């Protein structure tokens, strides 16, 4: 699996600068070391370390403004004004909360948007079939429902055959029922494709339903790393699920105890 170094590391004063960034080991799809990203002198990400294994589904939670989406943009190669070492697969794709479809292009053309070479329509239609949208390949984006538009966005990511799939709150704008369907679809696609996934979300239950690990970001670093060792498919009624939910809510600083709320 080929990797991509975003930029040469910038070391703190007094630290040697001739050391080459470490390459990922065999068991690492993403390797981040000492990552810092500052805006107007304020570090949103502050010497963050992170490793994600190939095929691992990782969920990233945290309060608004903690740097989750900034980290995802760095991993996607959309933000390179960083210090530290960032090693990721060259084949990676992103799906955002907004599907970002071009309204003047048919759905199948949106799926192929930005893809190198000159792929034909069949490539797009195969990806659309995989997300259950093959029958809408010739439609205009404005005729799609919210769930269909998000599936088209997923197809655009999958057609790139990514080793790393980055999801930035892709279900946030969907209604509750459509969201459940989309979550199941992502779980099925991940199990079928076997790529590493990083999902940024505010939804604790979503993280526990989908992920192998649930990370909590705080003060610009990964403050908590929670393995989710529950059998699939997962049952929110399982006491172990409830215990993990409670732990994550505590780590996020959310008051979820009935007695405390009553007081």
pTM: 0.86
Provide mean pLDDT across the span 9-30: 47
What are the structure tokens assigned to 207, written together?
């993280």
What are the C-alpha distances in Å from 9 to residues 15, 19, 227? 11, 9, 30
Indicate whether 229 pLDDT > 70.
yes
**Euclidean distance between CA atoms 201 and 186, whole angstroms:** 14
Question: Whats the size of the chain, residue-wise?
Answer: 263
- Most distant CA pair in the chain, distance: 64
Q: Would the pLDDT of 58 be above 60?
A: yes
With a pLDDT cut of 90, the percent of the chain lying above it is 69
Both tokens assigned to 143: 């005729």
CATH class of segment(s) 1-91+184-253: alpha beta
pLDDT tens digits, 211-224: 999 999 998 999 99
Q: Which tokens in the block code for residue 189?
A: 């696609």
Q: Is the pLDDT of residue 46 over 70?
A: yes
């Amino acid at each position: 699996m080929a990797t991509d170094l975003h930029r040469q590391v910038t070391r703190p004063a007094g630290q040697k600068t001739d050391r080459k960034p470490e390459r990922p080991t065999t068991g690492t799809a993403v390797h981040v070391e000492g990552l810092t990203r500052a805006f107007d002198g304020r570090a949103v990400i502050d010497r963050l370390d992170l490793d994600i294994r190939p095929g691992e589904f990782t969920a990233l939670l945290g309060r608004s403004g903690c740097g989750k989406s900034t980290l995802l943009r760095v991993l996607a190669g959309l933000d390179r004004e960083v210090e530290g070492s960032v090693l990721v697969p060259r084949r990676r794709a992103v799906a955002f909360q907004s599907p970002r479809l071009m309204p003047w292009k048919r759905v199948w053309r949106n799926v192929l948007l930005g893809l190198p070479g000159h792929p034909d329509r069949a490539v797009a239609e195969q990806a659309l079939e995989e997300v259950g949208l093959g029958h809408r390949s010739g439609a205009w984006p404005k005729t799609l429902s919210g769930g269909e538009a998000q599936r088209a966005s997923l197809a655009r990511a999958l057609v790139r055959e990514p080793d790393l799939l980055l999801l930035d709150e892709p279900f946030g704008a969907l209604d509750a029922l459509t969201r459940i369907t989309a979550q199941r679809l992502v779980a099925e696609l991940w199990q079928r494709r076997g790529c590493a996934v990083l999902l940024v979300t505010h939804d604790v239950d979503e993280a526990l339903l989908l992920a192998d690990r649930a990370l909590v970001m705080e003060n610009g670093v990964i403050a908590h790393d929670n393995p989710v060792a529950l059998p699939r498919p997962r049952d929110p009624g399982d006491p172990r699920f409830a215990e993990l939910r409670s732990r994550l809510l505590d780590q996020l600083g959310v008051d979820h105890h009935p007695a405390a709320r009553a007081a």
